[in-house]
Amino acid sequence: MQQFDQPSVVAAWSDQQRVAGRRVALVPTMGALHEGHLALIACAREHADSVVVSIFVNPLQFNRADDFDRYPRPIDDDLALCAAHGVDAVYAPVAATMYPPGFETHIEPGPLADVLEGAQRPGHFRGVTTVVAKLFLATRPHVAVFGEKDFQQLTIIRRMNVDLDMGVHIVGMPTVREPDGLALSSRNRRLTPAQRAAAVCVPRSLQAVADAFGAGVTDPAVVAATGRAVVDAEPLARFEHLELVDPVSLQPVQRVVAGTVAVTAAWFDDIRLIDNRSLASAVTSVAT
């Protein structure tokens, strides 16, 4: 496995792959790799001949310094996992390489970034689009694989890719979950055992939403309230938001329909967990 920390060097490697007729897939990460990332790597391998994983904790997308400082950075474990899973190259630049003195150019996302997560974390998606654009330019992938857990991020990156004619094939990978339903996240490793047990309320709240819709409830306020009640009942959790949105515009729906996405966030002390679920068809009638 090759390791790079300079954009020009990983770009040269990617160019060599292309010249040799090999398709390149990028898996962008902030490290602290878990089974969810390994699923992204396996998916990348299905789409390409050469897989490059980027590992960079991007300061531009953190709006709280403590969150950035506490973000786990087990780089040796990450490199070992990449090597063990057949990754061809890791691109792990340092912040001074990505954002040297004088850096001032950003990719400004549109209204998709103003809602949900973006409303709670001003500037977050501007940081994401900027770093992803830089990673695309450095690694020059044919394909890039992102997790659907970060549903809004995936939507915004797809938009950027189209709007800026980047020509990368963006693949969304279904969320990988623990047996109890908790979505895998690098932040989970910061949960205490009690918080970890409590965190199951997040996927359960989405299950309650799906059940309400499945039972024929279509008023978004009523559907959202059933989900919120699950989180509110958990003493270690602090509800942040649960919204029913259109999967394309990310705007709140007037009526819940099949394909509406429930998007939620909850806090466990200073740890914020997000999750989402696309709602399948409601049961419309039961024959008697």
Residues that bind ligand PAF (CB under 6 A): 28-30, 58, 61, 128, 131-132, 150, 153
| Residue placing its CB nearer to ligand PAF in the complex, 128 or 170 | 128
Q: In the complex with ligand PAF, which residue's Cβ is closer, 57 or 262?
A: 57
Of 233, 231, 209, give the one whose Cα is nearest residue 221: 209
Whichever of 45 and 134 has its CB closer to ligand PAF, that residue is 134
- CB of residue 216 to ligand PAF, shortest distance in Å: 35
* CA proximity to 53, closest of 79, 77, 74, 23: 79
Question: Of these residues, 34, 37, 124, 142, which one is catalytic?
Answer: 37
Q: Are 140 and 18 in contact (CB under 8 A)?
A: yes
Count of residues in the chain: 288
Nearer to ligand PAF, 30 or 271 (CB): 30
CB of 180 to ligand PAF, least distance (A): 23
Give me the least distance between CB of 240 and ligand PAF, in Å please. 18
For ligand PAF, which is the closer residue by CB, 30 or 206?
A: 30
Q: In what order do the strands lie in the sheet with 89-91?
A: 2-4, 89-91, 50-55, 24-29, 143-147, 169-173
Q: How far is the CB of 139 from ligand PAF (least distance, A)?
A: 12
For residue 230, the Cα-to-chain-centroid distance in whole angstroms is 23
Closest distance between ligand PAF and the C-beta of residue 127, in Å?
8
Tokens of 92: 């792990």
How many angstroms separate the CA atoms of 228 and 241, rounded? 8
Lateral strand order in the sheet of 271-278? 238-245, 261-268, 271-278
Q: Name the nearest CA neighbour of 258 among 247, 269, 243, 274.
A: 247
Alpha-carbon torsion angle 265, 269, 270, 276, nearest 10: -10
Contacts (Cβ under 8 Å, ≥6 apart) of 205: 227, 228, 229, 230, 231, 242, 264, 266
Integer distance in angstroms from the first to the last C-alpha of the chain? 62
Beta carbon of residue 219, minimum distance to ligand PAF (angstroms, whole number): 33
Tell me whether residue 241 is one of the annotated catalytic residues. no
The residue among 121 and 204 lying less far from ligand PAF, judged by its C-beta, is 121
* Catalytic positions, written as ranges: 37
